[in-house]
Structure 1
Amino acid sequence: MGPSGAGKSSLLNAISGYRKSGVEGTMHLNRKASCYITQEDHHQPLLSVEELMHIACQLKVKGKANYEETITDVLSNLNLNHRRNVTADRLSGGERKRLSIALEMVANPSIFFLDEPTSGLDEVTAATCVRLFRDLAKQGRTVVCTIHQPSASIFALFDHIYVIARGSCVFQGSPKAVVPFLSHVHIECPRHYNPADFIIEVCDSESNDVIQTLSEAMQNGKAICTKLQLPSAIASTSTLEEEPSSLEPMTDFVIKPTVTSMILEQQRPKVSTLVQKMKQITRFFHSPHAVSGFVQFWVLFRLMWTKTMRNRTVLWIQLVHHIICAIFIGLIFLNAANDGARMFDHLKFCLGVCFFFCYTQVMVPILAYPREVKLVKKECFNRWYGLFPYYLALTLSRLPVQIFLNVIFTMLVYWLAGLPAEFFRYALFTVVGLIVSLCAEGFGLMIGATFNVMNGSAIGPLTIAPFLGLAIYGFDFAPQIPAIML
């Protein structure tokens, strides 16, 4: 917990492994299954809750389990059973957050990492979500979340808080010990004031002396405020006098080698170098996913094909777009192929067809894929599937629609331009167009996965233009192209 820009999300990303670059330090892991739930709840909007749960079970549950029983149990625990036939885009903010948790709970992870789970939710919904996290913790799971400024009722639900200000730890321990701790460092919290609001206001002040004082009192996170032994004058007026506490060194959370870790290290039997290398090799070949790559591909292929077929509006727009453009290009070069003297018109016709395939196929993923990237990144990090099965399923699921649209386009253009009525020539013309479409789509996917919609829309045409210029230049003057441009 902490003010904006304190480093909450950065710390969560570091300890969860979501971010590895630019991170230094030591973490001790017990190799328990964990999951990361981002601040924004990204789901497939055209699929229902039950369909999403089935996909999660098929990708995250090992063996042939009873998926229906698992789905019913998880949805019932999260109060989503009555919404199982509703598509994800029709859920409320709190329901989408619970759905994100439900999708991960099918694998029964031991640790949950949540980034700002109450952001954008009203007070009642936020309190409901935090109570859900507390229930998960009572079931033996560890729940770690970031929160900006909780209300008093939500603040009291947490078992342990870690307050950050400008990258330093200013408090760690029980929420009930915040007010006594502040009194201990001569900072009085007003009566009837939310302790969470007060400590955030104190940390958000322009003075660095207050933050430095609090950080030194907590040893910058190396101490935990569990039982603060207060002066009698303060203890007599404290609302928490029945729970005296003191600053005790933290030995159950490793930041640097502590007494506990040193004792464990001495008691640990020495393992030979050969055994250590064998363990490293075994971990290298061990797949982090619950199912094989083929199962991942098949589940993702059916998912993407279902999405494509349900998005009828996009299909109709693409069909009308291909037909109208084919008629325009065909009318411009009407029967031009029958006149051998119109060589430059033939060249313009070929370039026009190439331009259509390039710009049409490159812009679709640039506009659509940036919204998908966040979902793919989260699901890959949570070990739903690998990137190769995903890319293979994405490409092959789009191929039938792409072939159909290209055949419609080339059929109209080929006939209007007056090209020879030979099947072999038409098939070759269509195959070349399909190859150009696939190359442009792959280029668009690369741009869409790298940039957002606004930047990608500007970068896509700019990067394609040089290739098209080289294509025009190379039609008749290929030997004159400088080697540096090849």
Structure 2
Amino acid sequence: MATPVSPSLSKLNSGPLPSPPLPEGAVVARKLAGASVAWKDLTVTIKGKRKYSDKVVKSSNGYALPGTMTVIMGPAKSGKSTLLRAIAGRLHHSAKMYGEVFVNGAKSHMPYGSYGFVERETTLIGSLTVREFLYYSALLQLPGFFCQKKNVVEDAIHAMSLGDYANKLIGGHCYMKGLPSGEKRRVSIARELVMRPHILFIDEPLYHLDSVSALLMMVTLKKLSSTGCTLIFTIYQSITEVFGLFDRICLLSNGNTLFFGETLACLQHFSNAGFPCPIMQSPSDHFLRAINADFDRIIAMCKNWQDDHGDLSSVNMDTAVAIRTLEATYKSSADAAAVETMILRLTEKEGPLLKSKGKASTATRIAVLTWRSLLIMSREWKYYWLRLILCMLLTLCVGTVFSGLGHSLSSVVTRVAAIFAFISFTSLLSIAGVPALMKEVKIYASEESNQHSGAFVFLVGQLLSSIPFLFLISISSSLVFYFLIGLRDEFSLLMYFVLNFFICLLVNEGLMLVVVTLWRDIFWSILTLLSIQVLMMLAAGYFRIRNALPGAMWTYPLSYIAFHTYSIQGLLENEYLGTSFAVGQVRTISGFQALRSAYDISPDSNSKWENLLVLFLMVVGYRIFVLVLLRFCVGKKKSVLKIFQFNVDKTNTR
């Protein structure tokens, strides 16, 4: 007896599913030149990825044509994203690829700008509007004039139906709500469209979207593909209306290709294998139910209910049997032969090679990143302006506690305590900027993966944009502290105090960048920085003179790598060298002698500049360290936390 078919599937079998109404904003201004993509015998191995085999993708064949949507579907850990990355040439360093990928019939690497790749989870800048975000992305990616880039941005907004949201902040602000998840996903895709790519790869475009947002997304992508762009993306499951919009489907399970061909033919393939789609069930749900081994754990539970709750034959389907049957049926089918024939046709003659569209210059990228960061700082009140306010409040507290000291011999020890408290506590308070730095590193990682930015460009832009903000903190806090405490009333000494504190903040910012880049986790970064700051405060020479510290660890190396040591020492030399104090009515002692018992400083008048030079070298040194980390850790998507988790998982597996 034939299995009845749902009305929606009857429409699919009798013809193409009617598309939902298309939004006006989905119409793009100009056509896009697509490119054909074919992959043959594609195998990907990743050592340690799976317990039973290193092969994540096994001998996959397929193709994608201009103006079509090709979807790679399968359950979790079936190799969807790995296959997508292999086709795009974006595999991680630990993966090895075997087989061939052809673009317009040629085995050539896709150059910059010829394709776009949208990750499953992308980092957007919440304090920018959609139009601003895309415009800055265009400035980073494209060479040429500003007016041309504005036109490209408007085309991208139009193509992804974002016209109603163009002037809204992506992440919201104060009482304003940010964009819904569906619109944020479309912004991520629009960022890649500013390059007007021939091929667009998207990893899970429906990730975390509800059914309405998913349908709108797929309708928009369908309209985009109709302009000529070649779309290849992964998907976990979809509703029937969305399924009807696909042109071709590649079905994977455990790295094996169970089907490749037109969407309607996939339904027939399942029916021929003995697994027809039941009435009132989405085709994608049925496919994934049949090939997802996780459902085997549910079968035992359902067997106990079958007698009381009727027929559960669809649930009791043996997944292992279904996978073997579907794979064997496909290999011997006309669909598999048709794929091989089509790949042969696409690769027998080379078409036009894809060419790079050029990049923005390094100077342009640095200028864009600097200006964009300044704009973000002016709007992110929680991370930047609140930090300035807290520094001012802390300075007022320290200043009022130590106010009215005067310039006497008896005030020397207390003045040392005041300067130590000012430098140490403001450095400790700077840890409040970790979330902002974490966002910057994540934005860099997202842009670097698509070659929109680079480690040197990001680092210089971040440094230049942070200088005005840190200088504002240093001059405002220094002026309040300097006059509340009553330090020496000389302009040159005041300027040295401001400069010393400013460079101290730059060093601290570099240290924070190092830790954030290593961990890429807010909790562990803050915990690490707190520990480092406390150790540096202990070794700075206030609680115990540096020469009297235990030699192992505390003197060498801690007291020499603690920036507190050089900042406080320079400020004390700035305050006390060249002064004298009266002892009784006859004898006087120098400032160096008065301070010698409280803090270890040098009697040389140039020593304060030497301390400033050491701080400046620390600024450079930390940035160089960050540059290395950005290139070798963030570029390879490694972090201390990920390495630790990987080792734990490996140990548990053993």
Query: Which TM-score band applies after superposition, normalised by the shorter structure?
Result: 0.7 to 0.9
Say whether the 8 Å CA contact 1:58–1:299 is kept in structure 2: yes
**1:45 match: secondary structure:** coil
- 1:318 is displaced (CA, Å) by 2.7
**2:257 match: secondary structure:** strand
Return the alpha-carbon distance in structure 2 between the equivalents of residues 56 and 485 of structure 1: 43
Counterpart selection for 1:62 from 123, 143, 160: 143
User: Equivalences for 1:118-267 in 2 at 5 Å?
Assistant: 118-204=206-292, 205-206=295-296, 207-218=319-330, 228=333, 245=335, 247-248=337-338, 250=340
User: Equivalences for 1:381-400 in 2 at 5 Å?
Assistant: 381-400=449-468
Identify which range, 115-124 or 83-92, moves more after superposition: 83-92
**1:172 match: secondary structure:** strand
When residues 298 and 168 of structure 1 are mapped into structure 2, their CA distance, relative to the original with a 3 A threshold, is same
Number of residues paired by the alignment?
A: 438
Counterpart selection for 2:534 from 444, 460, 465: 465
Identify which range, 367-376 or 302-311, moves more after superposition: 367-376
Say whether the 8 Å CA contact 1:289–1:383 is kept in structure 2: no
Higher strand share: 2
- 1:11 is displaced (CA, Å) by 3.4
When residues 416 and 201 of structure 1 are mapped into structure 2, their CA distance, relative to the original with a 3 A threshold, is same
- 1:91 is displaced (CA, Å) by 2.8
Return the alpha-carbon distance in structure 1 between the equivalents of residues 548 and 117 of structure 2: 52
Return the alpha-carbon distance in structure 2 between the equivalents of residues 138 and 25 of structure 1: 31
When residues 373 and 117 of structure 1 are mapped into structure 2, their CA distance, relative to the original with a 3 A threshold, is farther
Counterpart check, 1:348 vs 2:412: no
Structure 1, residues 327-367: CA drift from partner, whole Å, max 9, x if none? 21123323446243455434433331222232222440x22
Identify which range, 111-120 or 56-65, moves more after superposition: 56-65
Residue in structure 2 matched with residue 276 of structure 1 by the alignment = none
Say whether the 8 Å CA contact 1:322–1:408 is kept in structure 2: no
Residue in structure 2 matched with residue 50 of structure 1 by the alignment = 131
When residues 116 and 468 of structure 1 are mapped into structure 2, their CA distance, relative to the original with a 3 A threshold, is same
Counterpart selection for 2:155 from 56, 65, 73: 73
Query: Which one has the largest radius of gyration?
Result: 2
Return the alpha-carbon distance in structure 2 between the equivalents of residues 42 and 187 of structure 1: 41
Q: Which amino acid aligns with 1:71?
A: V
Counterpart selection for 2:366 from 297, 303, 310: 297
Counterpart check, 1:95 vs 2:164: no
Residue in structure 1 matched with residue 507 of structure 2 by the alignment = 439
Return the alpha-carbon distance in structure 2 between the equivalents of residues 372 and 165 of structure 1: 37
Counterpart selection for 2:399 from 290, 313, 330: 330
Structure 1, residues 403-449: CA drift from partner, whole Å, max 9, x if none? 11111112222222232112222222222211221111111122223
Return the alpha-carbon distance in structure 1 between the equivalents of residues 346 and 464 of structure 2: 54
Return the alpha-carbon distance in structure 2 between the equivalents of residues 252 and 80 of structure 1: 37
When residues 407 and 288 of structure 1 are mapped into structure 2, their CA distance, relative to the original with a 3 A threshold, is farther
When residues 353 and 197 of structure 1 are mapped into structure 2, their CA distance, relative to the original with a 3 A threshold, is same
Q: Which amino acid aligns with 1:55?
A: Y
Return the alpha-carbon distance in structure 1 between the equivalents of residues 362 and 127 of structure 2: 25
TM-score between both structures, scaled by the size of structure 1: 0.80
**1:69 match: secondary structure:** helix
Residue in structure 1 matched with residue 88 of structure 2 by the alignment = 16
Residue in structure 1 matched with residue 547 of structure 2 by the alignment = 477
Q: Which amino acid aligns with 1:43?
A: L
Say whether the 8 Å CA contact 2:515–2:525 is kept in structure 1: yes
Counterpart check, 1:408 vs 2:520: no
**1:25 match: secondary structure:** strand
Residue in structure 2 matched with residue 31 of structure 1 by the alignment = 110
Return the alpha-carbon distance in structure 2 between the equivalents of residues 288 and 476 of structure 1: 58
Counterpart check, 1:115 vs 2:203: yes
Say whether the 8 Å CA contact 2:405–2:486 is kept in structure 1: yes
RMSD: 3.1
Counterpart check, 1:5 vs 2:5: no
Identify which range, 128-137 or 473-482, moves more after superposition: 473-482
Return the alpha-carbon distance in structure 2 between the equivalents of residues 146 and 208 of structure 1: 23
- 1:326 is displaced (CA, Å) by 0.8
**1:250 match: secondary structure:** helix
Say whether the 8 Å CA contact 2:387–2:432 is kept in structure 1: no
Say whether the 8 Å CA contact 1:363–1:444 is kept in structure 2: no
Say whether the 8 Å CA contact 1:39–1:114 is kept in structure 2: yes
Identify which range, 435-444 or 202-211, moves more after superposition: 202-211
Return the alpha-carbon distance in structure 2 between the equivalents of residues 355 and 215 of structure 1: 66
Residue in structure 1 matched with residue 647 of structure 2 by the alignment = none
Higher helix share: 1
Residue in structure 2 matched with residue 320 of structure 1 by the alignment = 389
TM-score between both structures, scaled by the size of structure 2: 0.61
Q: Which amino acid aligns with 1:298?
A: A
Say whether the 8 Å CA contact 1:474–1:481 is kept in structure 2: no
Return 5+ residue gaps in structure 2 as ranges: 1-72, 102-107, 172-177, 297-318, 559-654
**1:112 match: secondary structure:** strand
Residue in structure 1 matched with residue 521 of structure 2 by the alignment = 452
- 1:6 is displaced (CA, Å) by 2.7
Structure 1, residues 268-327: CA drift from partner, whole Å, max 9, x if none? xxxxxxxxxxxxxxxxxx999611100111112121112222335655423321221112
Structure 1, residues 94-113: CA drift from partner, whole Å, max 9, x if none? 33232222222221111212
Return the alpha-carbon distance in structure 1 between the equivalents of residues 369 and 149 of structure 2: 17
Return 5+ residue gaps in structure 1 as ranges: 230-244, 268-285
Q: Which amino acid aligns with 1:210?
A: A
Residue in structure 2 matched with residue 427 of structure 1 by the alignment = 495
Return the alpha-carbon distance in structure 2 between the equivalents of residues 383 and 335 of structure 1: 57
- 1:456 is displaced (CA, Å) by 1.8
Return the alpha-carbon distance in structure 2 between the equivalents of residues 338 and 218 of structure 1: 91
**1:73 match: secondary structure:** helix
Residue in structure 1 matched with residue 438 of structure 2 by the alignment = 370
Counterpart check, 1:361 vs 2:443: no
Say whether the 8 Å CA contact 2:238–2:282 is kept in structure 1: no
Counterpart check, 1:85 vs 2:155: no
**2:77 match: secondary structure:** coil
Residue in structure 1 matched with residue 314 of structure 2 by the alignment = none
Return the alpha-carbon distance in structure 2 between the equivalents of residues 375 and 468 of structure 1: 32
Return the alpha-carbon distance in structure 1 between the equivalents of residues 325 and 463 of structure 2: 57
